[in-house]
Amino acid sequence: MFNFIVGTKDGTVGPNFARSDGEGDDRLAHILTEASHMMKTPTGPVTNDDSRSNEDSSSPRTQCPSPFSNKDSSQNRRLKKYENDDIPQEKVVRIYQEELAKIMTRRVEDMRHSREGFPGGGMPPHMERPPEDIRMALEAYHRELAKMQPGANLPNLPNLPNLHGLPGVPGVPPFPNLLALQQQALQANQHMNGAGAVQDLSLPKDKNAKMNGMTDSDKDKPMDAEEAIRHAGSAFSLVRPKLEPGQSTGSSASSPLGNAILPPAITPSEDFGGSAAASPLQRMASITNSLISQPSNPPHHPPPQRSMKAVLPPITQQQFDLFNNLNTEEIVRRVKEALSQYSISQRLFGESVLGLSQGSVSDLLARPKPWHMLTQKGREPFIRMKMFLEDDNAVHKLVASQYKIAPEKLMRTGNYSGAPPCPPNMNKPMPPTQKMISDATSLLSKMQQEQLLSSGHLGHLGQPAPLLLTPPGFPPHHAVTLPPQHHDNNKERKPPPPPQPLHQPPVMRGMHQHISPSVYEMAALTQDLDTQTITTKIKEALLANNIGQKIFGEAVLGLSQGSVSELLSKPKPWHMLSIKGREPFIRMQLWLSDAHNIDRLQALKNERREANKRRRSSGPGQDNSSDTSSNDTSEFYHSSSPGPTSGVPSAKKQRVLFSEEQKEALRLAFALDPYPNMPTIEFLAAELGLSTRTITNWFHNHRMRLKQQAPHGLPSEPPARDQSSAPFDPVQFRLLLNQRLLELHKERMGLAGVPLPYPPYFAANSNFAALIGRGLLPPEEQTKDTPSGLDLSMPLKREPDGDDFEDDDVESNLGSEDSLDDDSKTEPKAASTPAGRSNRRKPAAPQWVNPDWQDEKPRNPDEVIINGVCVMRSDDFRREAEETVRVEPSPVPREPSPSPSPVQPSPHTHSPEVLPEDKIKTENEDDRWEY
DNA sequence: TGCTAGTCAATACC
DNA sequence: GGTATTGACTAGCA
């Protein structure tokens, strides 16, 4: 289904996108071009129920959110905030008018087709929209226009009968450029659906075309034998889409590869009824969507289930004969290599190539059975994998699909050669170094051309500084230095003439389809990037030029301020990042290499400031909000769209705010068991008066953030549950918690300096005392002021395997946690990776990282260079361990606890011993606790 | 099903 | 008006 996208976040906020009044027309044209690109040929609606599609649409942030989805409010807000932000109202009006023209023109075209005789007679299937809908839409347009320009001279509402009249449509002004763009987009789409379709790898083009007019039942029919035979030999040809019963989808939706580009559909009813709170542009978009898309009554709510599961024709006997003895391990190895190298998800691979679910793929790849142990059925996936590996184009199609890159585009990089494919034969991959360098080089070149230098809105493009990215296989000092690309002006990026419909300008398409994939590719192909240095430079640049994280994040990275803050303050080492996580750093690097980076942002900033000024001065009542954010345009759109929800901005989702007591309780619980099981979670939820979901979230977040905050910037595993200690004990928990709450209470009463007696329990059970300290005190306090001799530190434990940072020496000294526990001493290994949960998973590592690269890691046992910047001295850990004083465990008096619930400080805690003063932290410290 | 990574956005804080 | 923190969420993997 066609979705008119008012603007894309990425497109709008990309480094190449900024606005000035003089270029509003271009921008609008781009908006529309972008929208047109989103439009598929009349092949039927694309369901968005596939989570890949969801991901795709949300990740590149281009979706036009359904007003019914949970994310809507925020998404809507974001759309408004990022895209329509400061478009003058008159521009909005014009867009409306242009869209009207578009609709009319399309309608006229449709009618003409109809009269000229569409195959099958009558109207083409996608045109079967009743005139009432058209009228409704047009009226909606006019309503919107009227709302914005009450006195404006609006184009006449054309009489519907006139739609049938050909060349001219009364009241509709000609918009040749617009129509040209539209036309181009249509051609592009035809191209996309034809040879080299980006998306649909499962369907041959003719089939695809055939299915354009299919009914659902048609689509459910199996591929005819001839078709199957004809396409045998390609792994993809084996894949057949299976539509879920009752699902109304078009052909393109049937493949997981076929719906990647399109954002979620919006149905007419949603358009006209449910989008009142959206901005005018969004409403217009919705209207347009509903008009241009089809069928006229698509499912109101896109089904949440997967739209497609590949149904593969059985492997023929011939194929079995051909592959009668496969080395499953080897196949699996190569498949994993391919998937990781190109960052193809198991799900995509499974569904597209094997016809299996992600879980099955994972299982197959993790534990391939030897060939002779497999049944015929069990061998099938391996045969398909083999065929996949031997299909030179398969991986590229899959990559193209995953990244939403036109295969043609991949070909242009010079490495993903299409047909005839050069070495991408996965059997003999090009030497990584050579391949990566050429990939990186071409990609960099491409990116510089298309991304960095396409930002024409702010003025003349200059010579970018050399881009310094280290190509894989090269040490950092061998960074690729690309010759600066020169672009005279934006016109270079104007759409080329129709013969190359896919070669669209990257502007607006920008991050989403064209650029983002490249960044993605760059992230995958760049072996090393000094994230620390990059962020330092970024911070300096922003600081020096008084540019906020918010605008930088939105304009350059496509991220929110909070994310930028985290990235800049806690950059992860490159090789610890997934490809997705690398993207922002690639963008930062690119931004740094842009000679006009600051200028562009400054201009954008000024523009926003001006827009805000205009907004404020646009009249009384227009700005009745607090206007805390200069970039938040929601009020602008709300004030200009007096619908039923006018003045009622979508309710802000209120975040749960934990009380200090709750936080203490959670920290304590975490110290006791960082991986609580469900009963524990439920207990905590009940105890703290929170939902289990909240508890789970907190533990997840806490583990993740603990990991991020490891000493010396060294990412670390969260503490593992001590195997020797009992599982989470509610009684102990309550007891300890009461103690902690009493401390808190005393702090609040201003008695922080008063020695706080230890409860007997603490004296008796040093484990829990240590746990309390380790779990509840910030590391800096834990390590620097611990006169009691009781080690309250909680050195962050790491898993003994896998990690690049892994350093045996360090590892052996990380377990000071063990030193606290006599039992764990007896089985140190088990304690460091308790059987419970902490060793269930591999340490997080980028899935795609080439194992060969990891051999280059420094091996000095005392010093680990991280990302070329951070140096971790294992001495630090050793010292911590040495300072640890072991306290022999003593019997624990198990006394019942008062167990207040929800958590309240208990005044009845008894404590003959003294808690060191420095263990009592202030509230303020508490707020600033770091891991 | 449960985990991690990445991210958003509300909120706190400066 | 900026940045930091953090609860919540999604996607993908095992």
Q: Which residue's CA lies closest to nucleotide B8 at its C1' atom?
A: A560
Which nucleotide is nearest to A580 if distance is taken from CA to C1'?
A: B6
Q: Which residue's CA lies closest to nucleotide B3 at its C1' atom?
A: A841
Chain A 358-417 residues in 7 Å CB range of strand C: 358-359, 362, 365-366
Q: Which residue ranges have CB below 7 A from strand B?
A: A 61, 74-75, 77-78, 359, 553, 558-563, 566-567, 572, 576-578, 580-584, 652-655, 657, 675, 678, 696, 700-701, 703-704, 707, 718, 837, 840-841, 843-844, 927
pLDDT for A771-804, tens place per residue? 444 444 433 333 333 333 223 333 333 333 333 3
**First and final C-alpha spacing in chain A:** 47
CA distance A81 to A470: 35
- Could you give phi then psi for residue A888, rounded to 5 degrees? -70, 135
- Residue A206 in 3-state DSSP? helix
- Determine the number of helices (DSSP H) and then strands (DSSP E) in chain A: 42, 8
Q: Which residue's CA lies closest to nucleotide C13 at its C1' atom?
A: A362
pLDDT for A64-120, tens place per residue? 333 333 333 333 333 333 334 444 445 544 554 555 455 444 444 444 444 444 333
CB A929 within 8 A of CB A778: yes
DSSP letter at A885 equals B
Q: Specify the length of chain A in residues.
A: 931
- The pLDDT score that the predictor gives to residue A466 is 32
Asked if omega into A431 is within 30° of 0 (cis), the reply is no
Low-confidence ranges of chain A (pLDDT < 70): 1-314, 340-343, 357, 359, 396-397, 399-518, 615-616, 618-652, 709-726, 750-931
A622 touches strand C (CB under 7 A): no
Q: Which residue's CA lies closest to nucleotide C4 at its C1' atom?
A: A565
Structure tokens of A260?
A: 């990647």
Task: Give me the CA A837–C1' B3 separation in Å, rounded.
Answer: 10
Q: In which element (H, E) is residue A288 found?
A: helix A280-292
Which nucleotide is nearest to A703 if distance is taken from CA to C1'?
A: B4
Structure tokens of A18?
A: 């900024």
Cβ neighbours, 10 Å, residue A911: 18
DSSP per-residue codes, A723-750: TTSPSP-HHHHHHHHHHHHHHHHHHHTT
Chain A 411-450 residues in 7 Å CB range of strand C: none
- The pLDDT score that the predictor gives to residue A664 is 87
Which nucleotide is nearest to A365 if distance is taken from CA to C1'?
A: C14
- The pLDDT score that the predictor gives to residue A110 is 47
Q: Reduced to 3 DSSP states, what percent helix, strand and coil does chain A have, rounded to the nearest 5?
A: 50, 5, 45
A52 touches strand C (CB under 7 A): yes
- Helix A579-592 crosses helix A561-569 at what angle (to 10 degrees)? 90
CA-closest candidate to residue A722, choices A685, A775, A683: A775
Q: Which residue's CA lies closest to nucleotide B11 at its C1' atom?
A: A655
Structure tokens of A775?
A: 């779990």
Q: CA-based angle A770:A772:A777, to the nearest 5?
A: 100
CA distance A635 to A618: 13
- Could you give phi then psi for residue A242, rounded to 5 degrees? -120, 120
CA distance A775 to A544: 39
- The pLDDT score that the predictor gives to residue A312 is 59
CB A243 within 8 A of CB A254: yes
Structure tokens of A256?
A: 């997981």
CA-closest candidate to residue A291, choices A271, A262, A261: A271
Q: Which residue's CA lies closest to nucleotide C14 at its C1' atom?
A: A362
CB A435 within 8 A of CB A291: no
- Burial (Cβ within 10 Å: 0-12, 13-18, ≥19) of residue A869: middle
CB A906 within 8 A of CB A898: yes
Residues 6+ apart with CB under 8 A from A313: A223, A228, A238, A240
A301 touches strand C (CB under 7 A): no
Q: Which residue's CA lies closest to nucleotide C11 at its C1' atom?
A: A55
A349 touches strand C (CB under 7 A): no
Strand B: which nucleotides have any atom within 7 A of a protein Cβ?
A: 1-13
Strand C: which nucleotides have any atom within 7 A of a protein Cβ?
A: 1-14
- The pLDDT score that the predictor gives to residue A699 is 92
A578 touches strand C (CB under 7 A): no
Cβ neighbours, 10 Å, residue A321: 8
A841 touches strand C (CB under 7 A): yes
Question: To which residue do tokens 């895209």 refer?
Answer: A83
A705 touches strand C (CB under 7 A): yes
Domains, chain A, ordered by start: 28-82+99-221+241-303 (no CATH), 312-390 (1.10.260.40), 711-927 (no CATH)
